[in-house]
Structure 1
Amino acid sequence: MKIAVVSEFFYPHSGGQEQRLLEILEYVAKQGHKVDVYTIKYDEALSDQENYNEINILRVIKNKNYIGGGGLKSRSLKTIIQYSLKVALRLDANSYDKVIFSQFPIFHMLLTCFTKSKKILDFVEYRHGRFWEFLFGLEMKCADQVVCISDVVKEKALKICDGKKLLVIPSSIKLKKFYSGEPKHFIFIGRMEQHKHPEMAIETVLQYNAEHNQKYVLHLIGDGSMLEFLRKKY
């Protein structure tokens, strides 16, 4: 099977959805399927094309300033449109059995939805409000199938999408990669952004330690706009 993946960020960028897609695609590639990932070259040190664990990574447009904080406002709309149009041409020129789209930045899917290949939306985050529900609804209409990260996300997606389109595939975690050998450790893995609620993890561990007279350690793994605030507060 020939599979294309359209994701603004990919390896070596290590955001949540990028890591999720990487682990899924590594498994798919090992089964003998051909995988092409179309992404943005956000670092000049990266090559325009590379093969990583049998995954063909194609960085079709360059913008070294593309990575910002969380949300669509931090992205360059010009870069998103240029990226989407270049990917559309590549998808049109190649015959793929399936095309997997990351959830964001949304416009990349809307501008390439004409492709005849089966379109799969990897849906990892539900945001409330008419604006977001409208945009997510457009994405889901373009998709032939919507893969949700969890049952909770699927339940919320039912508000704007036909349940027949929805499927749940949870993310995997390679525990050996993070296991310290010390049982009294917790880990929060994610961007330090307000909508990720890293403070909830911190307050939970602090409260547990206080109530049970314990000294469990919490490691926060990630970067983001809240990082310095959290360092100062805790």
Structure 2
Amino acid sequence: MRILVIDELCPPQLGGIQVRFKGLATQWAAMGHEVHITAIDHLGTSPEEEVIDGINYHRILKDTEYYKNGPFGRKISTIFSYTFKLKPFFKQQWDVIIFCQFPVLPQIFYKLFYRKRAKTAIDFVEYRGSKLWKVINNIILNAADEAICISNHVKQCVLEHRKDHLHIIPSFVDTTDAVSVSKSNYIFMGRMVEHKHPEHAVQGVLAYNKTYGKNMPLQLMGGGGMLNDLKTEYAGDGCITFLGSVDDDVKQQVLANGRILILPSEREGMPIVVIEAMAYGVPTITTDYPGNGTQFFVAEEQFGKVAQPDVDDIAKKIKEIEDNYEAYVARCNEIKSNYDTKVIAQKYLDIFR
């Protein structure tokens, strides 16, 4: 198959959506498919054309002011420029065109102006429910042949806008090399920013240790604006270790020694860190915020606990998992193969057969 992915960013910038497309595209290329990804170079330092792991990257526009600017966190004029620069790609013959949920406009443009169309899909990973976003969602979700949702929770939200050709393609990892070494550390993985609430992970573990007479360590991986303040605040507590941004080798080592993942975020779709932890037999505790889609996945698959967004309840949920720990590990090991990269990549393409 000849596959075109319309993303907005690409390596070396890797947000959650870009990690998802990179993983899928790498596997599709390994399966013998021809894969192209278009994107905006918002760093301004990357080559316009590049092949990485068999994927053909096309950074067709440079704008260092694009990202985190404008009313939607994106520079609107750049979205229009990017969309028009896609015309040479839209004129080509493709078996499948997959549109990233952002930056919204390209899929609308393609539907309106290109009659000899490839099969199209929108990859929808995060539902935003404001009045304005409901209008936008209604347009973009009906601009593609297929709507691919990252979780059942997102699919239920999308049902407000369309009823047919809905699919669930969850996050995924390569599960074959994930081997647990010990179960010695609690883990937080994510950016140190307000809506991720790393401080709740720290306080929840400290509350658990104090309440139940334990001395369990917590390792936190991730950079961000809160990191230095948190390191200063908890500098005297030997149970808490801030690792900052880490490479893949360190991340795999931490996961291999992980015991429970604590993810107290306000806003998530279906973060890959949950699947990464599951692959190592590490159950998850997440929180009951309305915008946290992870809670529904954890509850549906029953490999962890959903806590109230309260430090004491996080500590209580840690205790509940510890009291039946082997059962949660067994559940992780039972279901992890369903989220292997090869399985999900094939499932994705089967939609277009």
TM-score by length of 2: 0.58
Report what 2:13 is aligned to: 13
Report what 1:147 is aligned to: 148
CA distance in 1 between partners of 2:162 and 2:228 (Å): 38
The letter of the residue matching 2:220 is H
- Check the 8 A contact 1:7/1:102 in 2, yes or no: yes
The letter of the residue matching 1:93 is K
Report what 1:41 is aligned to: 41
Aligned in 2, Cα 1:208/1:102: closer, same or farther, shift over 3 Å?
Answer: farther
Q: Cα RMSD between the aligned structures?
A: 2.9
CA distance in 2 between partners of 1:228 and 1:128 (Å): 33
- 1:12 Cα deviation (Å)? 1.6
Map 1:58-137 to 2 at 5 A. Answer: 58-68=58-68, 73-87=72-86, 89-114=87-112, 115=114, 116-137=117-138
Report what 2:26 is aligned to: 26
Q: Greater Rg, structure 1 or structure 2?
A: 2
CA distance in 1 between partners of 2:149 and 2:28 (Å): 18
CA distance in 2 between partners of 1:229 and 1:137 (Å): 41
- 1:112 Cα deviation (Å)? 2.7
Aligned in 2, Cα 1:62/1:221: closer, same or farther, shift over 3 Å?
Answer: same
CA distance in 2 between partners of 1:66 and 1:97 (Å): 30
In the TM superposition, structure 1's runs of 4+ consecutive aligned residues that sit over 4 Å from their partners are 174-177, 179-182, 196-204, 225-234
Deviation string 1:18-55 (CA, Å, 9 cap, x unpaired) is 11111111111111111110101122321001000000
State the secondary structure of the residue aligned to 2:184.
coil
Map 1:171-186 to 2 at 5 A. Answer: 171-174=171-174, 183-186=184-187
Identity %: 29
State the secondary structure of the residue aligned to 1:173.
coil
CA distance in 1 between partners of 2:136 and 2:60 (Å): 25
CA distance in 2 between partners of 1:107 and 1:204 (Å): 42
CA distance in 2 between partners of 1:220 and 1:113 (Å): 42
Aligned in 2, Cα 1:43/1:220: closer, same or farther, shift over 3 Å?
Answer: same
State the secondary structure of the residue aligned to 2:111.
coil
The letter of the residue matching 1:60 is I
Report what 2:169 is aligned to: 169
- Check the 8 A contact 2:42/2:66 in 1, yes or no: yes
Unaligned runs of 5+ in 2: 235-353
The letter of the residue matching 1:131 is L
- Check the 8 A contact 1:72/1:105 in 2, yes or no: no
Report what 2:262 is aligned to: none
Unaligned runs of 5+ in 1: none
The letter of the residue matching 1:20 is R
TM-score by length of 1: 0.84
- Check the 8 A contact 1:4/1:98 in 2, yes or no: yes
- 1:78 Cα deviation (Å)? 0.8
CA distance in 2 between partners of 1:72 and 1:12 (Å): 25
- The number of aligned residues is 229
CA distance in 1 between partners of 2:46 and 2:153 (Å): 36
- 1:198 Cα deviation (Å)? 4.8
CA distance in 1 between partners of 2:126 and 2:55 (Å): 25
